[in-house]
């Protein structure tokens, strides 16, 4: 939370990836871990930390199986779930009737890909690489 800390970005990145994969892999207690982390950071006025909190609120919506009815919401949740604040990979959202499929593709060669599939009706999701 100290803006002068030379390792602040690194620490935030570690927390981001830990929470990201806890959500994507549906670890037990992931929602509680996010809530506790947000509570610890809530009083921080740093823009990076505020963005981190916003991303994790979207991850909580995914864990809660919120219905995702619009392309814009699918992209917002997909970007938060797959990129977080630490990655800058390309995101593509596909409307596949019953589901949204969000594909993460890492430049420059796009060899590494990840997929998040979210049911529009139930909010249930799956993740694979």
Using CA atoms, how far apart are residues 12 and 57, in angstroms rounded to an integer?
16
Do the bridges between strand 99-105 and strand 113-119 make them parallel or antiparallel, or are there none, so unpaired? antiparallel
Q: Is 78 exposed, middle or buried (0-12, 13-18, 19+ CB in 10 A)?
A: buried
Locate 47 and state its tokens.
Answer: 């823009």
Would the pLDDT of 3 be above 80?
no
Predicted confidence at residue 93, as pLDDT, reads 98
Going by pLDDT thresholds of 50, 70 and 90, the confidence category of residue 57 is: very high
How far apart CA 27 and CA 36 sit, in angstroms, is: 15
Q: At 46, list the tokens.
A: 């740093």
- Quickly state the pLDDT bin for 108 (edges 50, 70, 90): confident
At residue 110 the predicted structure's pLDDT band, cuts being 50, 70 and 90, is confident
Residue 82 phi/psi, 5-degree rounding, is -95, -35
Give Cα 88 to chain centroid, integer Å. Answer: 12
pLDDT digit string, tens, across residues 10-44: 999 999 999 999 999 999 999 999 999 999 999 98
């Amino acid at each position: 939370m100290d803006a002068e800390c030379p390792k602040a970005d690194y620490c935030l990145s570690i927390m981001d990836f830990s929470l990201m994969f806890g959500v994507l892999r549906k670890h037990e207690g992931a929602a509680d871990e996010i809530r506790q982390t947000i509570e610890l950071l809530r009083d921080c006025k740093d823009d990076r930390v505020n963005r981190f909190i916003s991303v994790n609120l979207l991850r909580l919506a995914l864990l809660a199986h919120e219905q995702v009815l619009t392309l814009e919401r699918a992209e917002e949740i997909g970007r938060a779930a797959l990129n977080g604040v630490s990655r800058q990979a390309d995101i593509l959202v596909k409307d596949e009737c019953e589901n949204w499929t969000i594909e993460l593709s890492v430049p420059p060669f796009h060899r590494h890909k990840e997929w998040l599939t979210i049911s529009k009706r139930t909010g249930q999701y799956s993740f694979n690489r």
